[in-house]
Amino acid sequence: MCEEDNPSQPAKTQWYDRKNYVFVEFCVEDSTEVDVVIEKFRLIFSCKTADNTKLYNNIELYTRVEPNDSRHKRSDRSITLFMRKVEGKKDWPRLTKEKNKHAWLVVDFDNWRDWHDDDEQMIFMEQYANMMKEIKGTVEPPTMDDLDD
């Protein structure tokens, strides 16, 4: 994938965690020759940019994913992957196995949210909906006759 005589650089990469999937976005506009390999513990990405620069990322993942239930999609602006976690409902504190910080890798805070809060929010919404059902019809609505036209 990456040739020794033609050096490459890593693609700018964003990622975020969800309950059962990890999402990764390689921010490359007008990419060509895109190659994505998702293995159980590794993600390998390569492509060429519009100006023929080779990009290559070899990422040892934080923990195991299911390659057969993982996908990627190319658009004009990026290549987005979603990889199914083998151990769903477990947080990934980082994308990579090692704790090193990489200049090319950032958390996608626009899409990041604490999915534990999603469960609590759903429970709250169900409780609220049930409460509204119980209240409905028990109290007469105001007549509003005293409002001026």
What pLDDT is attached to residue 89? 85
Q: What's this model's pTM, rounded to 2 decimal places?
A: 0.72
What pLDDT is attached to residue 136? 57
Percent of the chain at pLDDT above 90? Answer: 64
Q: Is 5 exposed, middle or buried (0-12, 13-18, 19+ CB in 10 A)?
A: exposed
Q: Could you tell me if 27 and 67 are in contact, meaning their C-beta atoms sit under 8 angstroms apart? A: no
Percent of the chain at pLDDT above 70? Answer: 71
To the question of domain 13-112 being in CATH 2.60.40.790, the answer is: yes
Residues in contact with 139: Cβ distance below 8 Å, sequence separation at least 6, in sequence order: none
pLDDT at 132 over 90: no
- Tokens representing 103 are 């200049």
Q: Could you tell me if 12 and 56 are in contact, meaning their C-beta atoms sit under 8 angstroms apart? A: no
pLDDT at 13 over 80: yes
Read off the DSSP letter of residue 130.
H
Q: How confident is the model at residue 56 (pLDDT cuts 50, 70, 90)?
A: very high
Q: Could you tell me if 7 and 53 are in contact, meaning their C-beta atoms sit under 8 angstroms apart? A: no
Q: How confident is the model at residue 1 (pLDDT cuts 50, 70, 90)?
A: very low
End-to-end Cα distance, the chain: 74
H or E element that contains 36: strand 32-38
